[in-house]
Amino acid sequence: MKITIIASLLLTSVSAFAPGCVNNVPGALCMSDIAVEAKEEAAETKAEAEEIKTEVESGPQKVPCFGATPFYTKEPVFFGENYWDKITQEWGTEDTGKYVQAAELKHARAAMLGTLGFAFHKLGFTFNNISPHEYLSLTQDVKFADLAALTPLEAVKKIPMEGFVQIFGFIAIIELYELTHKNGKFVEGETVAPGLQPGGLTGDLGWNPLQVKITDDRRLAELQNGRLAMVVICAWLANDSIPGSVPLSFPW
């Protein structure tokens, strides 16, 4: 009898230290349940951390821009980088940056053409010397020789309205081509024109008859020449409009 009592006491004391569940106590948890909950909490914490990391990585990224290479430095230097980051990160996206770059490139090309035309006029390479026709407009009685005797700005003012319609019509054809073509091919069956889609306007018309290899150095050179041309044409027009407005002497 004593042996039976002692054995039962020993079993009771051992079971008190054994991991188990107390089912008759409300809210009591098993050790296995605690382990499962700990694993679930760890998994949730890891998932939240991954989500935060994904949001950071997919957030506004820094968009590179062609800058300037003063004194032939190895790496380009872009002045106004803070404003560029605002355009591409705070006010817009990378596609906004592509649109701004395309707009700058178009203005640069127009300025380069304007600068060449201005210089040709000043140097005497005018249409009255190279064209077989005497008149720019026979109906308006506008002769090339009369335009050559004027300043470039005055000559532009003498162009008839029909001439400006032709100029802007040619520009419209180029713009429509870029809006409706992608990689040099006309795009059909899309509700939104390729040029109106995000990142659709790049300034690249796919026109390269000489098959020149397009590199970042060439793009940068074109942009730098275009930026210089924008400054030059503005200075020349200001000097012709208001003599002495530019504090530099011009050869004409």
Instruction: Give 69-82 pLDDT, tens digit per residue.
Output: 666 666 767 777 78
Q: What is the mean pLDDT of residues 27-42?
A: 60
CA dihedral 29, 35, 40, 45 (to 10 degrees): 120
What does the pLDDT read at residue 16?
45
Q: Please, what is the average pLDDT of the chain?
A: 77
**Of 49-63, 109-123, 192-206, which has the strongest mean pLDDT?**
109-123
The helix (run of H) or strand (run of E) holding residue 143 is: strand 142-143
8 A C-beta contact, residue 218 and residue 212: yes
Q: What is the pTM of this model?
A: 0.67
Residue 193 CB: number of other CB atoms within 10 A?
15
User: Residue 178, SS3?
Assistant: helix
pLDDT digit string (tens) for 198-228? 777 777 777 778 888 888 888 888 888 999 9
pLDDT more than 90, % of the chain = 13
46-61 burial: b if 16+ Cβ within 10 Å, else e:
eeeeeeeeeeeeeeee
